[in-house]
């Protein structure tokens, strides 16, 4: 199975680079399954129903989110009826939506997507490791499902790396989100799980993690409250992670970071 994960989509430029390129990438890379993190798609904060529909109709199979999932309040009703939009799994019981889901690709192969959120330097949610463990205990890779993808939305690289090693050999891919900067450690872990600490963002890199530079810098320099952040709207880079899995085991046989367009050096996996 050939899987693509697209990192945090930031604002209009991020939406544009994903929607403009995803159909072509699906064809050229013979992708079987695509996950897009859309938590910053709506002017940098949250995601709307219309944007969800655009991504799902434009080539994404599943959307993940993160700590900005509730920034657009209307999404609370939508997420209850849209199983392909996930919020972090370790929110307390009773929170709208789900943090994991079972899906099928075009060939009928089952894919489990699990979406934990870290706790270091972030909201003190329930234990993400215990939440992931409960799901993995019920879905065995290569037996119950053909592939398992874990999107760990976290600030600390250590927490994301720890999740990768905890899931090694039991997931096809563990990929970090939230930092908006792609790390240089794409690899297959010893147990066969594709891993990258952070996939980076889909957005304009002539910015401060996707936001207009002047406003973001002013927050650090002046420390004055009330300075509004707005997403940068120059040419964006699509950043993500590609993995190909073994059909028999569900483990990764290849992994490659993805960078396309904008200011960053382009990197693409080999075509099918």
Q: Does residue 238 contact residue 15 with C-beta atoms inside 8 Å?
A: no
Find the helix packing angle between 128-136 and 157-167, rounded to 10°.
20
Rounded CA separation 22/25 (Å): 5
Provide the b/e sequence for 96-107 (b: ≥16 CB within 10 Å). Answer: ebbbbbebebee
Which positions ≥6 away from 223 have C-beta within 8 Å?
A: none
43, 68, 115, 178: the catalytic one is: 68
Catalytic status, residue 68:
yes
Catalytic residues: 68
């Amino acid at each position: 199975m050939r899987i693509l994960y697209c990192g945090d989509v930031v604002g209009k430029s991020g939406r544009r680079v994903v929607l403009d390129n995803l159909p072509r990438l699906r064809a050229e890379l013979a992708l079987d399954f695509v996950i897009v993190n859309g938590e910053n798609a709506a002017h940098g904060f949250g995601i709307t129903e219309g944007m969800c529909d655009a991504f799902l109709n434009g080539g994404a199979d599943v959307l993940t989110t993160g700590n900005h999932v509730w920034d657009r309040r209307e999404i609370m009703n939508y997420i209850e009826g849209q199983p392909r939009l996930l919020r972090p799994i370790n929110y307390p019981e009773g929170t709208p939506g789900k943090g994991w889901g079972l899906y099928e690709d075009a060939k009928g192969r089952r894919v489990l997507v699990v979406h934990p959120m870290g706790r270091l330097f972030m909201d003190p949610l329930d234990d993400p490791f215990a939440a992931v463990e409960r799901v993995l205990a019920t879905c065995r890779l290569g037996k119950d499902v053909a592939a398992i993808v874990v999107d760990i939305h976290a600030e600390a690289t250590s927490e994301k790396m720890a999740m990768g090693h905890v899931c090694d050999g039991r997931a096809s891919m563990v990929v970090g989100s939230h930092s908006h900067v792609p790390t240089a450690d794409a690899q297959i872990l010893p147990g066969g799980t594709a891993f990258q600490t952070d996939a980076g963002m889909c957005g304009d890199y002539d910015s401060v993690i996707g936001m207009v530079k002047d406003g973001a810098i002013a927050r650090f320099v002046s420390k004055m409250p009330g300075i509004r952040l707005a997403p940068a709207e120059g040419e964006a880079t699509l950043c993500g992670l590609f993995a190909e899995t073994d059909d028999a085991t569900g483990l990764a046989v290849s992994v490659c970071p993805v960078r396309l367009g904008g200011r960053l050096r382009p990197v693409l996996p080999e075509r099918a």
